[in-house]
Chains A and B, each alone.
Chain A
Amino acid sequence: MKGLASILGALVAQFAVLSLLAIGGANTVVPEIHRNAVDVHHWMSDRDFANLFAIAQAAPGPNALITTLVGFKAAGIAGALVATIAFCLPAGLLVFVVIGVWDRIQQSPWRAAVQAGLGPVTVGLVAASAFLLTRAADRGIGLAAITLATAAISYFTRLNPLWALGAAAVLGASGLVH
């Protein structure tokens, strides 16, 4: 059994690097997190990782919570905090610096062009992730109906979407939808 300090050190080294590699969000480095946690460090089994990933997706909050859960499994509460901070801090500092520069060049014509160009790229990527999430989630007609109904309600009404999520959770827990 390795000492706590060496596990925490491994968590920091791993997640601080992944923070700066995660272009497009936490889910892009999940395969690498999996490889490190299961194959390299043997902090957990494959099945553990899959279940922790499901918890991170379903629990409220950003998907980056997978780092919290991996840290927790590896080294308890200290591990959870260290892994989360190591994953958020390097990228966060970079954003902080870039947004400051970005806002200082507000009048520049090339900033306007970059904005006008990147906006649709971002929308395309969000649309792509909507498609991939829908395809992964909708393994049956009932689940597809939930997706469609939630999209329609949240697009066309001002109803808080938590109602749709709550109704879906109840339907799912009752075993009525497949």
Chain B
Amino acid sequence: MIATASPTVPTPAPTLIQLYLGFAQISMSAFGGALPWARRVLVEDRGWLDSDDFTDTLALCQFLPGPNIINLSIAVGSRFRGPLGALCAFLGLMGAPVVLAIGLGALYGRYGQLEALRGMFAALGAAAAGLVITTAAKMAVPIVGRQPIVGIPVIAGGFIMAGLLRWPLPLVLAIIAPLSVGLAWRLRR
């Protein structure tokens, strides 16, 4: 299978039903976190966004408050199809998981024991972490290739502050975002 449509042929804007189904596909694949699946479905499978669009839109969603992938569904849905598109993408993302979570919550309330599933959760968590590593790498490659002077130090800085030092996110953003945007502004062509 070919990864994405050729860049010279624009992908037609998805319909409301396609938005619903695309985001349902993301959520129903997303065991242990939705971000890797959001990128895979939106960029690689369906070609609605290119890698840069995805990173830019996610950046906006990350800076605004609220759950990132839910914000992403609203941003992508509204960009293609306005308020109804946002609603369809949101319902696609949340509909089935909410029903499933209520079912699991009811099972938990009834049996209250998850020991049998603990080993499975642990292994799923380990695999899901691997998917996030891949997502970070795939997002980094085009940015580092195009703008290494901004990209490399800023990616490293964010990783160190949020990952190694575990500083709270608002602090990390307050430090690194103005520096990064300022640097990009000075280097603009």
Contacts and interface: CB of A to CB of B under 8 A. Distances in A.
Interface of A: 19-26, 28, 51-52, 54-65, 68-69, 72-73, 77, 80-81, 84, 87-88, 90-92, 94-96, 98-100, 102-103, 109-110, 112-134, 136-139, 143-144, 146-152, 154-155, 158, 161-162, 164-165, 167-169, 171-175, 177
A147 B133 contact: yes
Contact of B154 (A62, A124, A130): A124
B94 A84 contact: yes
Contact of A51 (B40, B114, B163): B114
Nearest to A161: B131
A133 B28 CA distance: 20
A87 B66 CA distance: 8
B26 to A, nearest CB: 9
A126 to B, nearest CB: 4
A137 B128 contact: yes
A97 to B, nearest CB: 10
Interface of B: 1, 3, 27-36, 40, 52, 55-71, 74-75, 78-79, 83, 86, 90, 93-94, 96-98, 100-102, 104-106, 108-109, 112, 114, 116-117, 119-140, 143, 147, 150-151, 154-159, 161-164, 166, 168-170, 172-173, 176-177, 180-185, 188
Given A28-B169, A94-B65, A118 B177 contact: yes
8 contacts: A19-B66, A62-B69, A84-B94, A95-B66, A116-B181, A121-B176, A158-B3, A171-B123
4 A-B pairs with least C-beta separation:
A124-B158, A91-B66, A61-B97, A172-B123
A82 to B, nearest CB: 12
Contact of B132 (A72, A126, A162, A168): A126
Contact of A127 (B56, B147, B155): B155
Contacts of B98: 61, 65, 68, 80-81, 84
Contacts of A28: 168-169
B101 A69 contact: yes
Contact of B70 (A24, A62, A128): A62
A28 B139 CA distance: 22
Contact of A169 (B36, B71, B120, B151): B120
Contacts of B28: 60-61
B79 A103 contact: yes
Contacts of B97: 59-62, 65, 68
Contact of B159 (A23, A127, A172): A127
A55 B90 contact: no
B148 to A, nearest CB: 10
A165 to B, nearest CB: 5
Nearest to B121: A58
A169 to B, nearest CB: 5
A45 B75 CA distance: 36
Contacts of B170: 23-24
A84 B94 CA distance: 9
Contacts of B90: 88, 92
Nearest to B123: A172
Contacts of A26: 67
